[in-house]
Amino acid sequence: MKTWKSRLAVTATALAAVLGMTACSGGASGANGTQLSIVGFAVPETANKAIAAKFQQTDAGKGVTFSGSYGASGDQSRKVAAGAKADYVHFSLQSDVTRLVKAGLVDEDWNKNATKGIVSDSVVVLVVPKGNPQGIKGWEDLTRPDVKIITPDPKSSGSARWNILGAYGHAVASGKTEAQASDFLKKIFANVTQWAGSGREATEAFDKKVGNVLISYENEAILARQKGKDYDYIVPNDTVLIENPGAILKKADPKAKDWLNFVLSKDGQTEFAKTGFRPVIDGVKTEVKGANDPANPFPTPEHLLTVEKDFGGWTTVDKKFFADGALIDQLRAAAVKK
C-alpha cells in the first residue's frame, strides 16, 4: 500500500502559487524584527529550528526571530488554550488543534489547505538496542515475558496515542476480533516498565536502559541514531501513519502565514526529512543519515493504517480509546492488576 504517498498528492503549482502570494503580501512587521512564538510537541524541535534557520534566509523571513516551547502535545495544547502565547502550533494530534478551535483561538478552516492541515508525517516503529539482542521482529514479540517496554503516557502525550493505535491496528489487521485486540493490548501494557511524559522523555528513558523496547516515531529513532545512539529500529509490517498538524492562531503575527507556507515548501519539507520525518508533499528527495537505508529512508509498510480510514477519525478514536474511563484506561488498570 502507498496510503501515505497518496495523500502527498500536493501539486507543486498549487504550493508555488500560495508561496508566491504570501511572499508578495509581506507582513510589515517582518522587516522590523518580528518574533514568532512556536508551541509544539516535543519531538519536532530539532526540525523546526532547522526550518526556521532556512526561513530566515528568505525575503519573507528576513528580520524574523523565533521563540519555542516544546513538550507533551496534550499539555502544550492545554497551555495555549489557557492563554500561553503562540503564533503557530505544531502538535502530535488533530484533537489538540481542535481544542484551540473550540476555544476560539484557531479558525475552523485551519485544515482546508492542500495537506489538510498536516505539516509532518511519520510511522510507529519499535526501537531496540544495537544488534537487537531480544530478536524483536514485530508487535507480537511485545507480549513476551523478556520484553520491557517504554512508551509515553497517552494522558499527556500524543505520540503515545499513535503507538497504541499501531499495536491495536496490527491486532485487528492480523485477524483478531476487537475483544482479542483489546486482550493483546492488555498484554503489551503489562510489559510496560515506564509510561513517560512525552515522546522525547521516553527516548531519554530508553537511553538510560530502563527497558529494552521503545515504541516510538520513526523520525525519533532516526534522529537518535544521527546523534550517535546505538539503536536499531524495526518498521512493523502493520503500522500507523502518524500525521502531525500545524496551525496559525487567529491573533498571530501576519508573518506566521509566511512561516507556515515555508514549512510546507520543498525546502521546509526537506529539513523535516533530514531529521527523519516523512515529507507531506511530493518531490522531496534527500539521503537521510540514521535511517535503515539512507538512500531509501522511508519504505512503505505492507499495511499502513490511517486514523480516518481504519479507525473512523479522531472523534471516534478519542471516545472509544482515550476518553476518561474508556478502553485504554480500562486495559491499563487490568494490566496492573494481572
CA distance readout (Å), 276 to 31, 67, 195, 217, 291? 32, 23, 24, 9, 7
**Domain pair 34-120+243-275 / 122-241+300-336, same fold:** yes
pTM of the model: 0.88
Grid coordinates in use for 233? Answer: 529500529
Q: pLDDT tens track of the chain, all 338 residues?
A: 333 555 444 433 333 333 333 333 333 344 458 999 999 998 899 999 999 999 999 999 999 999 999 999 999 999 999 999 999 999 999 999 999 999 999 999 999 999 999 999 999 999 999 999 999 999 999 999 999 999 999 998 888 999 999 999 999 999 999 999 999 999 999 999 999 998 889 999 999 999 999 999 999 999 999 999 999 999 999 999 999 999 999 999 999 999 999 999 999 999 999 999 999 999 999 999 999 999 999 999 999 999 999 999 999 999 999 999 999 999 999 998 65
Beta-ladder partners of 47:
none
122-241+300-336 topology per CATH: D-Maltodextrin-Binding Protein; domain 2 (3.40.190)
Cβ–Cβ < 8 Å for 69, 39: yes
* Residue 144 to residue 162: CA distance in whole angstroms: 21
Q: Which residues touch 43 (CB under 8 Å, ≥6 apart)?
A: 92, 159, 198, 199, 200, 217, 219, 220
CATH class for domain 34-120+243-275?
A: alpha beta
- Which residue in 262, 278, 272, 273 sits closest to 48, CA to CA? 272
Query: Would you list the domain boundaries of the chain?
Result: 34-120+243-275, 122-241+300-336
The pairing of strands 88-90 and 231-234 is unpaired
Grid coordinates in use for 258? Answer: 509566511
Q: Each residue of 320-334: b (16+ CB within 10 Å) or e?
A: ebbeeeebbeebbee
- Which residue in 15, 1, 18 sits closest to 282, CA to CA? 15
